[in-house]
Structure 1
Amino acid sequence: MTRKLPIIALATAPGKAGVGVIRISGANLLPMAQALFQKSLKPREASLLTLRSGDGAPIDQLIAIYFSAPASFTGEDVLELQCHGGPQLLELVMKRCLELGKDQGLVIAEPGEFSLRAYLNNKIDLAQAEAIADLIDAQSENAVRGAARSLQGTFSNDINGLIEEITQLRILVESTLDFPEEEIEFLENAQARERLNTAMQKLHLLREGAKQGKILRDGIQLVLAGAPNVGKSSLLNRLAGEEVAIVTPIAGTTRDRVKESITINGVPMHLIDTAGLRETTDLVEAKGIERSWESIRAADLLIFLQDPNAKGGADTLAALELKDQILKALPPKCPVLEVNNKSDLLSKAPSLQGEVQPLFISAKTGDGIEALKHKILESVGWGGSQEGAIVARRRHLDCLDRAAAHLEKSQQFAADGNISLELFAEELRLAQDQLGQITGKLLPDDLLGKIFSQFCIGK
């Protein structure tokens, strides 16, 4: 699964800084540490030392901390060097470490290899390992807090608790397989159906929480689309709180998509202002329009902006045709908000009728923007509560969805008039396996490698 050789990497970001940290992990590192500094290091004790080159010249005065296995992040011996943060200096320190670690086979770490070793040595589970990367990549304060909770094991504990409930139910079911004439009596006496329903309710809550967590982790790709000159760039600037896109009265001013990241009530949003979608002979604008269609095809939420002041006739027909094209290009189940801009130019307030009330805003004056923000969060399924939130990945959601499907099938096999304990038990096992993949208990090696390859090298 992983190399047994000791590994080394820069654990802090490249570039100039006050401090740069180099991390080494492997078996029996104490001799290497003594060779580096000509001094014995005590475990978990910071030492101010001078690292010298092969000819005795000083390279850096640094702080060295030695962690003896298994009391370390990776579960192996770990040596951390806190150096001054100059890029060339850190390169010299790395070079010296590799020279002295040559006999032990010291090599540069692969992406995520430190976290992988921590996982393989049972220091953390897979969900916690992923939370480390999510903590580093967090795009908002709430995402940081959610990743920290996952790292502490909140999500894993919920998953493991559900696995244990399913395991106990499996034990009851499988112990009864040798007595087929007692199937109905077993289901009633063991309250198997009730226990299964309880497990499904807990799984439903986990799925809802994971959906919220994925929003915190990945954010929402919010695409602004519509005909030229309806005010998409003005809306982008209003939501971003600054002049990100150029705004003029000339139709087609935005000739390429413009991206900006913001937060709405703590939820990360990736705003994309598309070029006005229309036929054009301008090669630059045509390229921008194609990129805009790419963004639409990958949208999590689309705002179709319209100008209620526009005159009827050909313009209205073109707008309807454009709307139809956009709806066909969107991903399945992508919500669409139809928003009427330039309400400040309306001669009178619109008459609102029907169950679905259209949104009227003015990107110029800010009127209706708060209501639009509320509608955006509502449309993507954000529950509003960030208390106790965790972060989650698409992988987690897929596993939870498949586990739910298996539990639903197990309900069918335990139903009155359709009792089949063998199939009931098998569906419970399959659900349990899916949940186990979240924490890494039952995960294919190739998928494990893919997950850790997306980490940064120092982790």
Structure 2
Amino acid sequence: MPSDRDPIAAIATAPGRGGIGVVRVSSPDDLAPLIQALLGRALTPRHAHYLPFRDAGGALIDQGIALYFPAPHSYTGEHVLELQGHGGPVVLRSLLARCLEAGAQAGLRLAEPGEFTRRAFLNDRLDLAQAEAVADLIDASSEAAARSAAASMTGAFSREVNALADRIVHLRMLVEATLDFPEEEIDFLEKYQAGETLAGIREDLARLVAQARQGAILREGLHVVLAGQPNVGKSSLLNALAGFDAAIVTPIAGTTRDKVVQEISIDGVPLHVIDTAGLRETADEVERIGIARTWEEIARADVILHIVDATRPEEELDAGIAARLPAGTPVVEVVNKIDLLGEGDAAALAGSAGKAEEPASAAARRIGVSALTGRGLDVLRAELLGIAGWNPSGESPYLARERHLQALRRAGERLEAAAEHAALDDRVLDLFAEELRLAHLELGGITGEFSSDDLLGVIFSRFCIGK
């Protein structure tokens, strides 16, 4: 069974060819014997040494840079050796095999996915939110996501969470002290302005939730499903939003028989736009399967764009489709092909086209566009950002994960319950204190102060090998 005390090694750079490749070794024990066996000499800590890397028989594997970082001043907090050579797969595999061979007596083994970062967490070099941000920075799909991940990795998000936790602890301390000395007739809630203090904490938590939600959108993206009858322009709209021909477009009804997924970005926010089979009654078995899959995608959507034809907007089938759409999912009725209307009608449907900063009202959510000319697409993009809660002029978000959002929401629910107790009187101080304790636990779960081993296993197993 692998242990966190085992010395570990892995290739730390991406698979494939490259100018430079890195093999990393980390161990809680002294690496001097391994360094001597591999390189035939000692290394000065934190100094770059240009050396030959040889196999057990003395044959040259490569020449490169060797760096030694003694504990605790390393990425993992353990003793770390990094061998930087040329980035050919064969060279790196040979160098890794030589390390494992030289360290076999000491129990050196191949690192599991995310194990270097897991050790950084276990050795207090990173908290759990920072460790997750390392993987998010590697996986970032836009500059905005990369900036937000970098902010989280440096501890900005954790500092906000810890600051809220400290304020809750301070309030708990006052409550517990009052409970310990009941003979002191103190009106706690009034004397220490507990209600006002709690209101301030809840307000700051709500602000953090809003920022974290935007960060989660940056990380996960928004799943947008295009739905509607055949030949209303769903595939044309997908191509217009993507900026190239991602889907086949023909005048033949039923051309799209299975979903087409295209990743696009609006103001740095990733969108997974899904074109689907046209919804209608059909005897074609293949098309029926495609329509069934369309309804499955609609059920999973974050946002549904119900596409209708501007030249036939009041069709009964469209009303039937609208009636079947999930009640809890935001729906935008997109009236396509306004280029086929007269200018007056087109202008009325296009609304504030060109004013991308003014999303359509939540009540209306009806936007006229032309996938052919591009008219109204800026308004549609702004509406999608508005539904996502994205505010490009606001504070930079932290690249949060769904588990962070859930923990923040649960903490908010606990603080809401505490506020309800505070609205009564000092006779329920024990319940008030318990809700504060539970809110504190939820916040601690974000940074890993209170985390189960199962949770850690799931998180780090999704990292790449070598990180």
Instruction: Give TM-score, length-normalised by structure 2.
Output: 0.93
CA positional deviation for 1:205: 0.7
Confirm or deny: 8 A CA contact 2:333 2:365 kept in the other structure: no
Confirm or deny: 8 A CA contact 2:313 2:335 kept in the other structure: no
Q: Residue 284 and residue 62 in structure 1: after superposition, are their counterparts in 2 closer, same or farther (change >3 A)?
A: farther
Confirm or deny: 8 A CA contact 1:176 1:183 kept in the other structure: no
In the TM superposition, what are the counterparts of 1:48-447 in structure 2 within 5 Å? 48-180=50-182, 185-310=187-312, 316-327=315-326, 333-347=328-342, 349-350=344-345, 356=364, 358-385=366-393, 387-417=395-425, 419-447=427-455
Mean Cα displacement is larger for which, 248-257 or 136-145? 248-257
**1:18 and 2:26 correspond:** no
Confirm or deny: 8 A CA contact 1:61 1:83 kept in the other structure: yes
Give, as a single letter, the amino acid of the residue that structure 2 aligns with 1:102: A
CA positional deviation for 1:4: 0.8
Give, as a single letter, the amino acid of the residue that structure 1 aligns with 2:418: S
Confirm or deny: 8 A CA contact 1:142 1:386 kept in the other structure: no
Q: Deviations over 1:24-80 (max 9, x none)?
A: 111211210111011111111111111111221111112111110000000000111
2-structure distance, mates of 1:184, 1:196? 18
CA positional deviation for 1:417: 4.5
Query: What SS class does the counterpart of residue 327 from structure 1 fall into?
Result: coil
2-structure distance, mates of 1:154, 1:250? 53
- Tell me which residue corresponds to 2:355: none
1-structure distance, mates of 2:21, 2:185? 65
CA positional deviation for 1:302: 1.1
CA positional deviation for 1:245: 0.9
2-structure distance, mates of 1:372, 1:147? 28
Mean Cα displacement is larger for which, 94-103 or 291-300? 291-300
Q: Residue 193 and residue 387 in structure 1: after superposition, are their counterparts in 2 closer, same or farther (change >3 A)?
A: closer
1-structure distance, mates of 2:426, 2:295? 50
Q: Residue 311 and residue 406 in structure 1: after superposition, are their counterparts in 2 closer, same or farther (change >3 A)?
A: closer
Give, as a single letter, the amino acid of the residue that structure 2 aligns with 1:223: V
Q: Residue 369 and residue 94 in structure 1: after superposition, are their counterparts in 2 closer, same or farther (change >3 A)?
A: same
1-structure distance, mates of 2:50, 2:292? 58
- Tell me which residue corresponds to 1:34: 36
2-structure distance, mates of 1:444, 1:200? 26
1-structure distance, mates of 2:71, 2:22? 20
Query: What SS class does the counterpart of residue 304 from structure 2 fall into?
Result: strand
Percent identity between the aligned chains?
A: 53
Confirm or deny: 8 A CA contact 1:132 1:151 kept in the other structure: yes
1-structure distance, mates of 2:213, 2:234? 29
Give, as a single letter, the amino acid of the residue that structure 2 aligns with 1:19: I
Query: What SS class does the counterpart of residue 83 from structure 2 fall into?
Result: strand
2-structure distance, mates of 1:113, 1:203? 32
Give, as a single letter, the amino acid of the residue that structure 1 aligns with 2:379: A
Give, as a single letter, the amino acid of the residue that structure 2 aligns with 1:442: F
CA positional deviation for 1:270: 1.1
Q: Deviations over 1:175-223 (max 9, x none)?
A: 0013446576122111111111111111111111111110111111111
Give, as a single letter, the amino acid of the residue that structure 2 aligns with 1:359: I
- Tell me which residue corresponds to 2:5: 4
2-structure distance, mates of 1:431, 1:2? 33
Confirm or deny: 8 A CA contact 2:331 2:365 kept in the other structure: no
CA positional deviation for 1:278: 2.8
Gaps of 5+ in 2: 352-360
2-structure distance, mates of 1:268, 1:395? 19
Query: What SS class does the counterpart of residue 442 from structure 2 fall into?
Result: helix
1-structure distance, mates of 2:143, 2:241? 19
- How many pairs were matched up? 452
Query: What SS class does the counterpart of residue 18 from structure 1 fall into?
Result: coil
Confirm or deny: 8 A CA contact 2:22 2:82 kept in the other structure: yes
Q: Deviations over 1:347-389 (max 9, x none)?
A: 4533579972631110001111111111111112112235432
Instruction: Give TM-score, length-normalised by structure 1.
Output: 0.94
- Tell me which residue corresponds to 1:454: 462
Give, as a single letter, the amino acid of the residue that structure 1 aligns with 2:13: T
Q: Deviations over 1:262-303 (max 9, x none)?
A: 111121111111121234444443443343333222211111
1-structure distance, mates of 2:365, 2:176? 55
Confirm or deny: 8 A CA contact 1:184 1:419 kept in the other structure: no
Runs of 4 or more consecutive aligned structure 1 residues displaced over 6 Å after TM superposition: 352-355
1-structure distance, mates of 2:455, 2:185? 39
2-structure distance, mates of 1:347, 1:87? 62
Q: Residue 422 and residue 2 in structure 1: after superposition, are their counterparts in 2 closer, same or farther (change >3 A)?
A: farther
